[in-house]
């Protein structure tokens, strides 16, 4: 499957990197299950992350193409607008399909990992404080 996906993304000039994640990398795709793919589109200027509301011209086509090629439902996550915690999980635990620019990828990884760590720490502190206040 990764070779099929790699060949597809090599022909996409709008995608900087793509990752396979979820059950597909654990070898546990059920017959009726979907395939999880994260894509990062080339940014217009600087690194894009949590670019909520931004729609990329090729994203709908990619989803349809992948479903046709793989003959499976595809859950396409656009990493440019994914929450930092999700983007961090995908790029750290997922399997790279293609990385066309390692520098861009490393910059993105550093930013989302740092932000995800900050959010996790904040959530952990908030959770502990809430439990202490409520006495649970």
Write out residues in the chain with pLDDT < 50, as ranges: none
The confidence score (pLDDT) of residue 133 equals 66
> In the chain, what's the furthest Cα-to-Cα distance?
57
The confidence score (pLDDT) of residue 136 equals 61
The confidence score (pLDDT) of residue 123 equals 78
The confidence score (pLDDT) of residue 58 equals 96
Q: How far apart are CA 77 and CA 71, in angstroms?
A: 18
The confidence score (pLDDT) of residue 118 equals 85
pTM value is 0.87
Output DSSP code: residue 15.
E
CATH number of 79's domain: 3.30.460.10
**H/E run at residue 9:** helix 2-10
How many structural domains comprise the chain?
Answer: 1
Angle, vertex CA 33, rays to CA 32 and CA 39, nearest 5: 140
| Contact (Cβ atoms closer than 8 angstroms) between residue 105 and residue 16 | yes
Q: Give the three-class secondary structure for 33.
A: coil
Q: Any bridge partners for residue 35, and if so which?
A: 74
The confidence score (pLDDT) of residue 106 equals 98
For residue 118, give its domain range: 2-134
């Amino acid at each position: 499957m990764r070779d099929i996906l790699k060949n597809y993304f090599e022909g996409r000039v709008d995608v900087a990197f793509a990752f396979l994640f979820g059950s597909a990398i654990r070898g546990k795709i059920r017959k009726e299950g979907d395939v999880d793919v994260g894509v990062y589109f080339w940014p217009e200027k600087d690194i894009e992350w949590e670019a909520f509301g931004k729609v990329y011209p090729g994203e709908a086509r990619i989803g349809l193409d992948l479903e046709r090629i793989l003959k499976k439902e595809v859950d396409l996550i656009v990493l440019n607008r994914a929450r930092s915690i999700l983007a961090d999980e995908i790029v750290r635990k997922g399997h790279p399909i293609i990385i066309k620019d390692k520098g861009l990828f490393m910059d993105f990884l550093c930013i989302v990992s740092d932000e995800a760590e900050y959010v996790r720490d904040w959530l952990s502190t908030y959770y502990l404080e809430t439990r202490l206040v409520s006495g649970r």
